[in-house]
Structure 1
Amino acid sequence: MPSIPLRSFNWRVAAIGASVAACLFGAVMPLAAGAAPLIVAHRGGTGDTPENTVQAFTNALQNGAQALWMTVQVTRDGVPVMYRPADLSALTDGRGKLADLDYTDVKRLNAGYAFARKDTAGQTVYPYRDHPLPIPTLREALAAVPADVPVLLDMKQTPAAPLVEAVIKVLDDMHAWSRVRLYSTEAEATDRMRARRPQAQLFESRDATRNRLVAAALAGQCTAPPAPGTWAGIEFHRQVEVVERFTLGEGISKVVANWWTPAAVQCFKARGNVHLVAFGIETPQDFEAASQLGFDAVMTDSPARLRDALNRQGKDIAR
């Protein structure tokens, strides 16, 4: 793949959309060797626009994202909608758990109510309080995004069964299984999805990814490398606690784990091609490090800031 300077790269979203989807979700087609990782907008770019809204997804693609991370929960009456926190008061003008409300109540809420930024005078303003944004349904979110844009869907609710069943219905109705890859920190959700729809494209469990990284970092061991074709994702840097238990109590050490080393990546790929996604890539330095390690995709809160920072660096990222 020829080198393309950042200033002329312009992210080529429209031109490579179909091939990006094939690379990200195809059963046998990996990214080209040495290619720069794909840019994934975390919750549609939560640093740029109120997260998990249709406007966020649209803006993220305009800002250079090549794939979208979305977060889904289900209402009391079984409608899957795009929302992340445990309580509606975290982001909206509502309160309580989303699962305790029917969709008719949820659709009245302003998803951008708590979104703040600084104005030119340095004052905090809330631009979407006078211009409210709705919480979209999963169906609306998928319909608003071009079919060749990959979607990484985070199932973010317990108990898992109602959410999984609601997601299945939408993906069945929209024939969207080929464009969506599913993730959850709760193994119950992905296990149930695998049992109910064997064709579902899934990340491996977070526990499996973390345990393998810990074994590589602390013991220098490559424990149970994943099968070829596996997708794994976790933070590039992560604050963790190391707990040592002894007779009279325990000791806790807090550390920022920089656990994605060349040896760790080699372990993940020991049995064949495994696809890796680095979460929390916000700087050109981390982007370059993930690229050098061979990550397939990187997830960022702000595609706009990352794009601008990379453009200012003026480096070649597509090799």
Structure 2
Amino acid sequence: MHSGLGNKLLVALCVMTMAASHAAPLLVAHRAGTGDAPENTLLAVQSALANGADMLWITVQMTSDGVPVLYRPADVSALTEGKGALNSFSFLQLAELNAGHTFSRLDAAENKVFPYREQPVRIPTLQAALQVIPKSVPILLDMKQLPAAPLVASVAKVLDEEKAWDRVRIYSTEKEILTLLADYREARVFESRDATRQRLSSVALSGSCETPPAAGAWVGMELERTVTVVEKFTLGEGRSEVKARWWTPAAVSCFKTNPEVKIIVFGVDSSAAYQAAEKLGVDHVMSDSPIKMKAIRAAAR
């Protein structure tokens, strides 16, 4: 049989098999539940776990004096009353800032309020988070900060001290971080975003499944993502934005060709998105609000 036709038939067979039976996806709290509490704080961790999160996605950067802390934006002004690049602050300086300064919600009268300006919450260290999070709760650690080498070394030191390598799986969009982590035999990392995107594109454009992820791989991508389509014409080009649905039954079945491959779908924050992800048979959904997802998951049962 022609290899291309064989791959397409295999994908179709896997789609039918997966449609027959699959478990409900587990819930990953994005930045420990950025929609419910100041993100990447111990308060958010507590809220996420109280509302049924199965895993925690937390983001780590490093201070100027080499302390890994939980914080996502490059500048502290995004979430705190401070200003400047996070890696220009020492940990003691960061400890003075309120990680909940910009967190807001609507009150009963639909007015925006800032509940944590009078009740400050602090930016935690990675070490403190590992000591607070129950060892039974898997942690997905997002590493983005550059330069890569000092960040990787500082995180590895904490994971060594806390004997936490087996509790953590690491994600990064930075190729250099993933390359450096390859030197740590204990490190468990996601497949690179570029590799995942390429596999999804191949299935979408050709319907083939030439190179599925290796057995045991963890992969992640948004359920939907706005992409720019560029069309070339003789007298110029046309550009249009479309909302692409990356994950399809064919894509999921391709990624599941080899055993123990785990798929995390990002950006699942509505009932419709959850139902779509559940129907696809993915392993995990990542949401900003475990509180909101608790009700959605209960209604789906």
TM-score by length of 1: 0.84
Alignment equivalent of 1:205, drawn from 179, 192, 197: 192
State whether residues 60 and 70 of structure 2, in contact with CA within 8 Å, keep that contact through their aligned partners in structure 1: yes
The aligned counterpart of 1:72 is 60
Q: Which amino acid aligns with 2:227?
A: V
The percentage of counterpart residues that share the same residue type is: 54
Of the structure 1 ranges 244-253 and 76-85, higher mean CA displacement relative to structure 2 is found in 244-253
Of the structure 1 ranges 250-259 and 113-122, higher mean CA displacement relative to structure 2 is found in 250-259
Cα distance in 2, alignment partners of residues 151 and 129 from structure 1: 28
Unaligned runs of 5+ residues in structure 2 are: 1-20
The aligned counterpart of 1:263 is 250
Matches within 5 A, 1:157-196: 157-195=145-183
Of the structure 1 ranges 138-147 and 214-223, higher mean CA displacement relative to structure 2 is found in 214-223
Show CA shifts across 1:105-143 (max 9, x none).
111110000000111121111000010000000001111
Of the structure 1 ranges 285-294 and 207-216, higher mean CA displacement relative to structure 2 is found in 285-294
Q: Shift of residue 284 of structure 1?
A: 2.4
The aligned counterpart of 1:299 is 286
Matches within 5 A, 1:110-149: 110-149=98-137
Cα distance in 2, alignment partners of residues 49 and 169 from structure 1: 28
Q: Which amino acid aligns with 2:176?
A: E
Q: Which amino acid aligns with 1:256?
A: K
Aligned residues between the structures: 281
Q: Which amino acid aligns with 1:145?
A: I
RMSD of aligned alpha carbons:
1.5
TM-score by length of 2: 0.89
Unaligned runs of 5+ residues in structure 1 are: 1-32
Alignment equivalent of 2:25, drawn from 12, 37, 58: 37
Question: Is 1:237 equivalent to 2:263 in the alignment?
Answer: no
Show CA shifts across 1:36-76 (max 9, x none).
11111000110000000000001100011011000000011
Of the structure 1 ranges 263-272 and 162-171, higher mean CA displacement relative to structure 2 is found in 263-272
Q: Shift of residue 295 of structure 1?
A: 1.1
> Match of 2:120, SS?
coil
Show CA shifts across 1:206-264 (max 9, x none).
00011111121223232421111100011111111233456765433311111200111
> Match of 1:202, SS?
coil
Of the structure 1 ranges 264-273 and 94-103, higher mean CA displacement relative to structure 2 is found in 264-273
Cα distance in 2, alignment partners of residues 249 and 144 from structure 1: 57
Question: Is 1:94 equivalent to 2:78 in the alignment?
Answer: no
The aligned counterpart of 1:54 is 42
> Match of 2:182, SS?
helix
